[in-house]
Structure 1
Amino acid sequence: MDIKTTLATQGYFQARSVAAPQPASAEEGFANFVSGFAATLSEGEATARAAMVGGADPHALVRALADSQLAVETVSTVRDKVVEAYQEILRMPV
């Protein structure tokens, strides 16, 4: 066996164990989702306030508004999917 192949194999297995996804609970995922949403909205509000008094770049304002809009659309889409799943469960015969 070639030494280069052995070293490459060892490096692969070390990198594989480090890059493996860590299992997270649904509660942690939802908490991260909500905190990220709140942070995006508060960042957008802060940038909008700074733009009103002339302390922010117009490009930063547009980016913050676009990020806020995307966050709100994402949350509303997730809400719609949850409501749809709930309605589907209610339609199931018992």
Structure 2
Amino acid sequence: MDIRSVIAAQNYAGARPATQADPDHQGAAQGLRATFQDFAATLKHSEQVAQSSMVGQADPHALVQALAQTELAVETAVIVRNKVVEAYQEILRMPV
């Protein structure tokens, strides 16, 4: 057996744990999950305030504030979506 293949096999075996998923690691997936949960919570809160306002239980100022927060959240989501689509299109344009 060639010494280079033995060294390559040893290096591969040593590097293999780096490719395994670490369930305790709080990476980008956790950050995205928290962002989506915050977005959903903002929409839900705004809906509750709007319903309360319709029956006269919430003041108009709270309704305007909730709608402004929702508008900002939706605009942010649209901007992020556009950036993701733009990045995907840029990747598709790359020569192979």
Instruction: Give the TM-score normalised by structure 1.
Output: 0.74
| Alpha-carbon RMSD | 1.0
Shift of 1:56: 0.2
Letter in 1 for 2:87: A
Cα displacement string for residues 27-50 of structure 1 (whole angstroms, at most 9, x for unaligned residues): 011001100000000000000000
Give aligned pairs, total.
72
Unpaired segments ≥5 residues, structure 2: 1-24
Report the identity percentage: 60
The structure with the largest alpha-carbon Rg is 2
Match of 1:54 in 2: 56
Q: List structure 1 runs of 4+ shifted beyond 2 angstroms.
A: none
**Which of the numbers 72, 82, 93 marks the counterpart of 1:91?**
93
SS of the counterpart of 2:70? helix
Unpaired segments ≥5 residues, structure 1: 1-22
Q: For the residues of structure 2 that align with 1:61 and 1:54, how far apart are their CA atoms?
A: 11
SS of the counterpart of 2:62? helix
Instruction: Give the TM-score normalised by structure 2.
Output: 0.73
Q: Does 1:77 pair with 2:79? A: yes
